[in-house]
Amino acid sequence: LHTESILRNEIVEIGKRLYSKDFVASNDGNISVRISENELLITPTGVSKGFMTADQILKVDMDGNLITGFMKPTSEMKMHLKVYSCRSDVKAVVHAHPPTATGFAVAGYSFDKITLPEVIFNLGKIELTEYGTPTTEQVPAAVEKKVRDCDALLLANHGALTLGKNLMDAYYKMETLEAVAKITLVTKILGKENVLSDSETGQLYEIRRKMQAYNPLCTNCGNCANASETEKV
Ligand SMILES: [Zn+2]
């Protein structure tokens, strides 16, 4: 329970950072962390993440049933549950609407050309999902199709989703994603974009694999030290 209260406070802190950095407006965004095999802490619906308190955060099981809490969980809980069911290595999920990254998601832009090393180092890659009506099963279904080998997703016409091995890891990936989107926007304005070559991106993936510790929970993400030679990008 000591750990749980630390994690509740960490969610509150990340909510404040998301709000102060304009990554969310009004009551947008949601945060969750896996605290055991079958338990999750998740943010409530209808609360600004900038003004959330630790007691407002809910504990639910992996089917979304309420364990403790007096509020309703985020309407996007199904999206979080889907991520955890697809990725046993993921322990925390952050969803926000950072304006520049979301702009790219509205434009239907996929970051398939690598221009910045931190995309590979920090995120693996950035995937663009199909549009789904918020709160419906369409959103987790769209996420499921792309979530298996990346830690950052742009949700078409909606926002962004980042995944991490802990809360700060997931949050920092949101910062990286928005920073990459801002820099990419500037290169679009400048009208020139030097894309890294296949051999340059190959070297970056090689370094990423060496940097990542062996993860016993990973079955076959393709990005960590568990990946075999033949699976390398
Ligand atoms: Zn959203």
Ligand 1 center to 51 CA (angstroms): 17
Least confident of 13-22, 165-174, 218-227: 218-227
Nearest by Cα to 32 from 95, 92, 97, 98: 92
User: Residue 227: pLDDT band by 50, 70, 90 thresholds?
Assistant: low
42 close to 57: Cβ distance less than 8 angstroms: yes
Ligand 1 center to 167 CA (angstroms): 18
Collapsed DSSP state (helix, strand, coil) of residue 199: helix
Question: What's the pLDDT at 211?
Answer: 80
183-199 pLDDT tens trace: 999 999 999 999 999 99
What count of residues does the chain have?
233
Collapsed DSSP state (helix, strand, coil) of residue 43: coil
Ligand 1 center to 175 CA (angstroms): 16
Ligand 1 center to 96 CA (angstroms): 6
33-59 pLDDT tens trace: 999 999 999 999 999 999 999 999 999
Ligand 1 center to 121 CA (angstroms): 25
Whether pLDDT at 20 is above 70:
yes
Cα distances from 164 to residues 81, 121, 172, in angstroms, run 14, 13, 9
Ligand 1 center to 15 CA (angstroms): 14
Ligand 1 center to 214 CA (angstroms): 32
100-159 pLDDT tens trace: 999 999 999 989 899 999 999 999 999 999 999 988 999 999 999 999 989 999 999 999
Q: What is the mean pLDDT of the chain?
A: 91
User: Residue 213: pLDDT band by 50, 70, 90 thresholds?
Assistant: low
**Does residue 76 have an active-site annotation?**
yes
Q: Indicate the pTM of the whole model.
A: 0.89
Distance separating alpha carbons of residues 16 and 12, to the nearest angstrom:
6
Cα distances from 177 to residues 5, 7, 73, 85, 101, in angstroms, run 28, 23, 25, 23, 7
Q: Which of the following is catalytic: 76, 137, 175, 206?
A: 76
| CA 161 distance to own-chain centroid | 4
CA dihedral 168, 170, 174, 177 (to 10 degrees): 120
